[in-house]
Structure 1
Amino acid sequence: MGYSTDNNSRTVVLCGILLALTASLVALIIGSVSLAKSSHSIVQMSDLTEQWYRTQEEKAWTIAIGDFGVNLEYLDEASYQIKGYNIDVVEAVCRLANKTCVLMKDVNQRCWDSEPGQQARGGEGLLSGWYDACTGWVKTYPRSLTFDFTRAFVKRKDVALYAPRSSTINFRNLTGLNVGFIDGWASDEHCLARYDADSILGASVPSDRIHHFSTGLELIQALTNGQIDVAFAIKLPQLEAGFQRLTPNDFANNCYLDGAGMMTRKDNTEFLTWWNDAFGRLVGTPAYDEICTRLKTVHGHKPGSGARDVCIGY
C-alpha cells in the first residue's frame, strides 16, 4: 500500500515545480495590476467607453476645460482634442500625483457666470459637482468668496481697454460708450467699476451699455462690426494684434488676486492637497521646462505668449 522512495522523490519535485510556477504567475499578475494602477494620465471625454469605466478601481478626477483658441487651450481639428499648455500641465500633474484625470469640455459660464448688470456668481457645473475643478481660472476677489484655487500655473496677466485702430476714444472717459466683456471672465464690469471717477470717468457702466459675449471671438467680432465701442479684457493676443490698446503698459490690474490655476469647490480639500503637492514637485524640473518649451514648438501655431510670460519661475 506504500510508494517507493523514487516515486516519493518525483512527487516532491513535481510539487515544487508546480508551486514555483504558481508563485511566478501570481507575481506576474500582481506586477501587471501594479503597473496598470501606476500608469495614470489624463483622458479626454471622447476616449471614454463603458469598458474604461468598468476598469476604474479608484476615483477619476473630472476637470472642465475650455477652448480659448490660444496656445494655452485650443481645439485641435485633426484629432478633435483640446490641446495646449494647460492640458500639458494637467497631464504632468496627474501623472506625478498618480491620479486618473478626465477632461470635460464645457462653456465658461458653467464654471463662473456673470450676467450683465448682475453680481457674478459660481457656475452651475462646478457648484453642482458636474466636475471636480475648472482649468485655468484666475483668482479674483469675488471668486475667492465662492471657490478655492490651487497654486497658479499661469502668471498673472494684465488687463486693458481696446478699440478699433481708427478710434479717437480716450480711455479716461467712457461716458456714454458701449463696453464689451467676455462672460464669466475676471475682467468684467464690476472690475472696471473699481477704476473710479478719479481714474476713468464712466467706469461704472450703465446696464444698458454693458454687453456680454460668450467667447473672445464673439467679443472681437462685436468690436469689429461696431456693436461695441470698446472692449475690456485681459491682453489677448488677438486683441493686441488687431486693435488699438487704449490703456498704457503700466495700467493697473484691479481684477486679479493671482494668476490662473485650478478652481474648485471649498469642500474639495483633497483635490487641492494632491494638486498643489504634485505641481510643486513639477516646477523647476526638466519635465516642466519641456512643457514650457512646447508653448512654441508644439502649440506655437496658435496665438499666445511664450514661456517668459506664462510659466511659473521664468
Structure 2
Amino acid sequence: MGYSSDNSRTIVLCGILLALTTSLIAVIIGSVSLAKSSHSIAQINALTEPWYRANQEKVWTIAIGDFGVNLEYLDEVSYQIKGYNVDVVEAVCKLANKTCVLMRDVNQRCWDSEPGQQARGGEGLMSGWYDACTGWVKTYPRSLTFDFTRAFVKRKDVAIYALNTSTVDYRDLTGLNVGFIDGWASDEHCLARYVSNGITGASLPSDRIHHLSSGMELIQALRSGQIDVAFAIKLPQLEAGFRRLTPTDFANNCYLDGAGMMTRKENTQFVTWWNDAFGRLVGTPTYDDICTRLKTVHGHKPGSGAKDVCIGY
C-alpha cells in the first residue's frame, strides 16, 4: 500500500511538471511567433511601407567642381556650389524622383591627365567614390573609359590664346610653352591632332607642356609669362582678357559632344533615368527658368547666356 501511494505521488508530480513545462514552451513559442509576426507586419504594413522604401532608396552621389563661371562657382556667402549645372541637377533629380547629393571635388578625380602622358579616368569616379561627375564633355579618349548622358550644355569651341601684346602666329607653335587645364579635353593630345590642320609644332615635346589645375591658374600663367600661349575652350575670362589667335571658324578636334554627366560604363541605370528625366525637362517652363537664371541669378559670374548654353535654344 505504501509503495502504491508513493508511486501515485510520483505520477502526480510528473504530471504537474509536464504541464508546467508544456505551458512554458507554449509561452516561449507564442512570444517568438508574436515577435516574428510583428516584424513581418512592419515590412508590409501600409503605413510603414513608404518609410521602409524611402530608407531603401539609393542616394545618387554626384561630383561637381568650381570653375568660377555661371555654370559652376563657389558662392562665398553660402559656401555652396551654385550655377546652371547645379540647377539642372536639382531639376532632373526632382523630376526623376531620385535622391541626389552633390559632392565638391577636384577635376583630376574625375578625369586625370599628366603632361606628356595618356589621360585616364580619375580615381574618384573609377573607384566609385561617386556615381557621376557633372558637366564633362564627351571626347574620343573619355568615351573609351566612361559613359555619358545626353549633353545639357552645348558643345564649346576651342581656341589658342596669348597676351594682347603677343605677336605669336598660332600656325607655328615651335619652341613655345603651351598651357592646358589639367583633365580637360583641350589637352596636348588634342592639340597634336592639329598637325593635320597645318599647325607646325602642334605635337609638343614634354618640356613645353604645362598643366594648370584650373582656369584661373591658366590665366595667371599667361600673365606671368610662364606660358606663351594657352589652348582651351572659349572661356569668358580668356575671351575678355586675352588675344584669341585662332579664327572664329577654328576646327574643334577635341569634343564629340557638349557637356553632360560622366559615369562608369556599368552604371547604365543612372544614364537611363537621367536621360529620360532631362528629356522631359527640356522645353518646359522649369527649364526656361533655369536658362534665364544664367543671367538673372548667376550673371555676376562670367559666362555665356542661354543661347550658347541651353539645349534647344
Using structure 1 for the length normalisation, give the TM-score: 0.83
Partner SS for 2:312? coil
Where do 4+ consecutive residues of structure 1 move more than 2 Å?
29-34
Measured at CA, do residues 232 and 37 of structure 1 come closer, stay the same or move farther in structure 2, by a change above 3 Å? Answer: farther
Cα deviations across residues 253-300 of structure 1 (Å, max 9, x unaligned)? Answer: 000000000000000000001000000000000100000000000000
| Greater Rg by CA | 2
2:220 matched residue in structure 1: 221
* Identical-residue share of aligned pairs (%): 83
| Partner amino acid, structure 2, of 1:267 | E
1:193 matched residue in structure 2: 192
Deviation at 1:157, TM superposition (A): 0.2
Unpaired segments ≥5 residues, structure 2: 1-44
Deviation at 1:37, TM superposition (A): 9.6
| Partner amino acid, structure 2, of 1:293 | T
1:312 matched residue in structure 2: 311
2:260 matched residue in structure 1: 261
Q: Which has the higher helix share?
A: 2
1:197–1:203 contact (8 Å) kept in structure 2: no
Partner SS for 2:194? coil
Taking the aligned partners of 1:231 and 1:110, their CA distance within structure 2 comes to 23
Deviation at 1:57, TM superposition (A): 3.0
1:109 matched residue in structure 2: 108
| Partner amino acid, structure 1, of 2:201 | G
1:65–1:105 contact (8 Å) kept in structure 2: yes
2:90 matched residue in structure 1: 91
Taking the aligned partners of 1:194 and 1:274, their CA distance within structure 2 comes to 35
Taking the aligned partners of 1:30 and 1:289, their CA distance within structure 2 comes to 39
1:51 matched residue in structure 2: none
Taking the aligned partners of 1:302 and 1:106, their CA distance within structure 2 comes to 20
Using structure 2 for the length normalisation, give the TM-score: 0.83
2:172 matched residue in structure 1: 173
Taking the aligned partners of 2:46 and 2:293, their CA distance within structure 1 comes to 36
| Partner amino acid, structure 1, of 2:205 | P
Cα deviations across residues 148-206 of structure 1 (Å, max 9, x unaligned)? Answer: 00000000000000000000000000000000000000000000000015510000011
Q: 1:34-45 to 2 correspondence within 5 Å?
A: none
The size of the alignment, in residue pairs, is 269
Partner SS for 1:194? helix
Does residue 137 in structure 1 map to residue 173 in structure 2?
A: no
Range with greater deviation from structure 2 (70-79 or 193-202): 193-202
| Partner amino acid, structure 2, of 1:308 | K
Range with greater deviation from structure 2 (192-201 or 79-88): 192-201
| Partner amino acid, structure 2, of 1:62 | T
2:56 matched residue in structure 1: 57
Taking the aligned partners of 2:305 and 2:129, their CA distance within structure 1 comes to 32
2:275 matched residue in structure 1: 276
Partner SS for 1:281? helix
Partner SS for 1:156? coil
Partner SS for 1:231? strand
